[in-house]
Chain A
Amino acid sequence: MNDILNNTEEIVKKAKAMGADEVLAKTTSGRYKQVRFSNNQVDTTVAWNDYVTDVALTWNKRVVATQIRNFKDVDGTIKRLISLAKVSQENPMFGGFAKGQFKYVKSQVDKKILELENPIEYVLDAINAAEKEVGSEIESGGILFGKFEDVLLSSSEGPTAMASHSAIELSIRAFSQREASGHSVECSSSLKNFNPARAGVKAGEIAKLAKNPKVGDEGVFDVIFDPLIFGSMLAVWGSMVSAFYILTQMSVFVNKLGEKVAPETVTLKDNPAEYSLANRVFDDEGVPTRENIFIDHGVLKTYLHNTSTAKIFDTETTANAGLVMPNPWNIEMEPGDMNKGELFKQVKKGLYLTNTWYTRFQNYAKGDFSTIPRDGIFLIENGEVKQSLKDIRISDNVLNMLNNITAISKERQHVHWWGEADPPSLSPYVLIKNVHITKSK
């Protein structure tokens, strides 16, 4: 770690010596493993070793960035970057990188993830658990992904920080019939809390319930969202709180600070806590990360900022800086006051959706979108699953959905899968009334 830190600090010093105004350098030494499986068998196992230094520097408010992967000519790379800055154009909105020296919480990391000798065992645990639920006809597929990163950051403006991150996740989709499937994920920052069989059991349970689906009806329904599908919603809503998306009109939250956008029961925050997949103790400007409540009891309280966007909005950074724009890290919804069973009992006639994909917008500023539920889709009557359904679509509006949240469960789950529920979230079961459902004609 010390060598990496020295090299990273050296890059900052060199860039300053060559004339840069402000310099950030972040080195990530990452080791990643992935197992991909389908039809109950491992298709491929992958390992990546990656060593990269991200550099962002400014010269007269011109912002340029690079990634160094070849360290044989670092001087030449920095020289070219500064030359590039000099022919670039001024960004009058650039507000500088974060200044000062900060104290950081020590990052918690599980080295066992790095040392994982046989990741395939975890995959087999999940496959076997799903099979136990459904029987030998089950076909399961998915991925197991493990990461271990050492990160060193050095800034000409003061911050120097180092941390390690670890995370492991398993995503399993189990088919009990050609059109009956269940999908579940297991996500953790350490092996201690990682239970792939739990994901296998849930995927199997949903797949079993999903057998013999009928085409669903169009209409307006009260809908229970499983934590996995609600994680997809949280990922979209959380990203829309980034100040960058506000500035580019790619958000329904433009000009809504201080306004009520959801019922009082809804509190949403960004929190890259040590237990989350996105655990991190500092952002890309070296500011210590923190919990940021952005919807507090239904009221939109803040956007997520780096130093530059914070200046545009006359506020302070929320420690969400990426190298160029602010991002959410890990979205959390505060739990509600009823358990899952009680929440289901609220529904006389409605739907229970477990997963979705392909969320696309007609207009981000208005919030009109559609998304396609997949895996278990169920008709609920008097709190009980009555019939498995298929081939429906949610065609609705972000603000309508937020405003129509009527119940939130106490139980929450860490969810993340592919690009559909990304960034990760801590997501409950949620009941939303009057959701518009459409289908093919």
Chain B
Amino acid sequence: MEKEIADYALEYARSRGVEYAEVRAQSQVQDRLMLRSGILEAYMSAVDSGFCVRVIASGGIGFASTNKWTKDEAKEIVDLAVKYAKMANRKEKIKFAEEKGIETNWTVDQKEKIENISPEERIAKFVEIDKSLASCGVKIAATMSSCTIDLTSKYFVNSEGSRITSFVPKIGAFIFITVAEQGKTEQAYEQFGYSGGWEAFREWNITEKLIHNANVLKNVIENGKAIKPGVMDLICGPEVTGIAAHESCGHPMEADRILGREMSQAGRSFIYKGGLFWIGTRIGSNLVTIVDDPTIEHSYGYYTYDDEGLKARRRLLYKNGVINEFLHNRESAAKLGTRSNASSRSVNYDREAIVRMANTFVLPGDMTEEELIKDVKHGIFMKSFTEWNIDDKRFNQRYVGREVYLIENGELKHPIARPVIETTTPKFWMAVDAVSKKVEFDAATCGKGDPAQGVPVYTGGPCIRLREVYIK
């Protein structure tokens, strides 16, 4: 990464008389190993580095990027960005919410530096996981696993005087398993993610989790029964609570979606001005408070400053069941007459920074998991999910259980095979009548943007109990 080229690009953009200019340079060292049923398919290692220029000129936005680090190239992409911004010819001129320039630098610490762990050792660890799984007593038909390591350095400068450097190491893993027993198959995946060093690998306990998953799938094949469809209580484990928080709170609270900027691809939101839902509207019970927080140290979605150079903070999205605060970047904040809450993220120098979640989760309550179960006469405990989806206004959602147990008179019984909850966002959150104390997180990759930008996030929360929902 050559900072002087980035500085040159900014100065040149300023000299073109634009209303706003920023340059975001990024260098990313990425290693990725991929195994199929214990065999290393390939090991990929690459360094990507480049920079982008984003300008506001004549009320339009222009963006251009390159991976050629020369002043001529910098000039070319600035000229392109300015030309495109002016060409937009917008009736409604784009402005950014006011902010002051910041000069700082930030990094994420590594207890055990990833760079010190050889590729040989990384490979050996994942091969070992596959071997342990293959000998765990469950018939594994196939596995596919990958481990990705990213070391990302960024340099951000803008025409308001911001100058921010950062370094973030991230490690992620994804494992997909197929269990085949009695001529039937069941499948599960597990994702892990961490901002920091190799210490994550030990904390994840991947082998134990995968063997647990394999046994759960075997148990579902051998003992799982269908649920008789009907109205009953549902306890969601942290994994299910987390996906629901992400899909039916985080996404609909993205202000660019609310304003229609994502109307074609990621869609709009059931929340909109003049509609049934807006800030101050009840969407869940008093016990439901959902936040998005990029400042959780070492979380997968961690950052200190966003990709518009603003200081990150916790955002209180649904507060005691009421719609409270949208996720904003500077463009959406200006449109809604507020300030950005630093939700602007981009996956690389060649992608526009847009409004994104970081770590979205339900805040804990004061009950234990056992207390939640004890008070259920007839219901299910859905600890994890397989298939899930939600419509593009983020209103109609569906979660299909993976590890699920029947609850009768306060006691856990046999596994239930793939029960389904298919319901609306307010019905889901209004049904919550109890929340447990312990919050757990899962790593995920959130999709949005065109071209697609999969950003690392946490989803999570405690166990939550929903009363009288329809399960089939």
Given contacts A178-B272, A440-B424, are A250 and B176 in contact (CB under 8 A)?
yes
Which of B64, B90, B275, B391 lies in contact with A47, CB distance below 8 A? Answer: B64
Query: Is the CB of B263 closer than 8 A to any CB of chain A?
Result: yes
A247, B142: Cβ atoms closer than 8 Å: yes
**Of A89, A93, A247, most B-chain CB atoms within 10 Å:** A89
B142, A374: Cβ atoms closer than 8 Å: no
Query: Is the CB of B207 closer than 8 A to any CB of chain A?
Result: no
Query: Is the CB of B100 closer than 8 A to any CB of chain A?
Result: no
B264, A141: Cβ atoms closer than 8 Å: yes
Nearest Cβ in chain B — how far from A316, in angstroms? 21
A439, B422: Cβ atoms closer than 8 Å: yes
Using Cβ atoms and an 8 Å threshold, which residues of chain A touch B141? 249, 365
A48, B65: Cβ atoms closer than 8 Å: yes
Using Cβ atoms and an 8 Å threshold, which residues of chain A touch B470? 441
B264, A41: Cβ atoms closer than 8 Å: no
A173, B123: Cβ atoms closer than 8 Å: no
How many positions in chain A have a CB within 8 Å of any CB in the partner chain? 85
**Of A66, A69, A80, A370, most B-chain CB atoms within 10 Å:** A69
A364, B262: Cβ atoms closer than 8 Å: no
A362, B387: Cβ atoms closer than 8 Å: yes
Query: Is the CB of B117 closer than 8 A to any CB of chain A?
Result: no
| Cα of A41 to Cα of B91 in the assembled complex, Å | 8
- In chain A, positions 66-97 with a C-beta closer than 8 Å to chain B are 66-70, 77, 80-81, 84-85, 87-93
Query: Is the CB of B365 closer than 8 A to any CB of chain A?
Result: no
Query: Is the CB of A46 closer than 8 A to any CB of chain B?
Result: yes
A88, B45: Cβ atoms closer than 8 Å: no
- In chain A, positions 45-63 with a C-beta closer than 8 Å to chain B are 45-52, 56, 62-63
A87, B67: Cβ atoms closer than 8 Å: no
B123, A70: Cβ atoms closer than 8 Å: no
Which of A69, A142, A360, A393 lies in contact with B47, CB distance below 8 A? Answer: A69
Query: Is the CB of B412 closer than 8 A to any CB of chain A?
Result: no
B90, A418: Cβ atoms closer than 8 Å: no
| Cα of A358 to Cα of B390 in the assembled complex, Å | 7
Given contacts A42-B60, A391-B396, are A360 and B450 in contact (CB under 8 A)?
no
| Cα of A118 to Cα of B41 in the assembled complex, Å | 44
Nearest Cβ in chain A — how far from B444, in angstroms? 13
| Cα of A277 to Cα of B119 in the assembled complex, Å | 37
B398, A43: Cβ atoms closer than 8 Å: no
Nearest Cβ in chain B — how far from A64, in angstroms? 5
Closest to B402 in A: A362
| Cα of A149 to Cα of B186 in the assembled complex, Å | 42
Query: Is the CB of B187 closer than 8 A to any CB of chain A?
Result: yes
Closest to A43 in B: B261
Using Cβ atoms and an 8 Å threshold, which residues of chain B touch A87? 118-120, 123
Closest to A92 in B: B39
| Cα of A440 to Cα of B424 in the assembled complex, Å | 6
A88, B422: Cβ atoms closer than 8 Å: no
B422, A441: Cβ atoms closer than 8 Å: yes
Nearest Cβ in chain B — how far from A392, in angstroms? 8
Closest to B1 in A: A70
Nearest Cβ in chain A — how far from B213, in angstroms? 14
Nearest Cβ in chain B — how far from A425, in angstroms? 18
Closest to A420 in B: B265
B46, A66: Cβ atoms closer than 8 Å: yes
Nearest Cβ in chain A — how far from B234, in angstroms? 13
Query: Is the CB of B144 closer than 8 A to any CB of chain A?
Result: yes
Complex A-B: 10 CB contacts under 8 Å: A45-B85, A47-B65, A62-B43, A91-B39, A118-B87, A143-B450, A178-B275, A357-B267, A362-B387, A366-B185
Q: Which A positions have Cβ atoms within 8 angstroms of B?
A: 34, 36, 38-39, 41-52, 56, 62-70, 77, 80-81, 84-85, 87-93, 118, 120, 139-143, 171-173, 175, 178-179, 183, 244, 247-250, 324-325, 357-366, 368-372, 374, 391, 393, 395, 417-419, 438-441
Q: Which B positions have Cβ atoms within 8 angstroms of A?
A: 34, 36-37, 39-50, 60-69, 73, 76-77, 80-81, 84-85, 87-92, 94, 118-120, 123, 127, 141-144, 176, 178, 185-187, 259-265, 267, 272, 275, 350, 352, 386-393, 395-398, 400, 418, 422-424, 427, 447, 450-452, 470
Known pairs A88-B123, A248-B176. 5 more at Cβ < 8 A? A39-B259, A43-B88, A44-B61, A45-B61, A49-B67
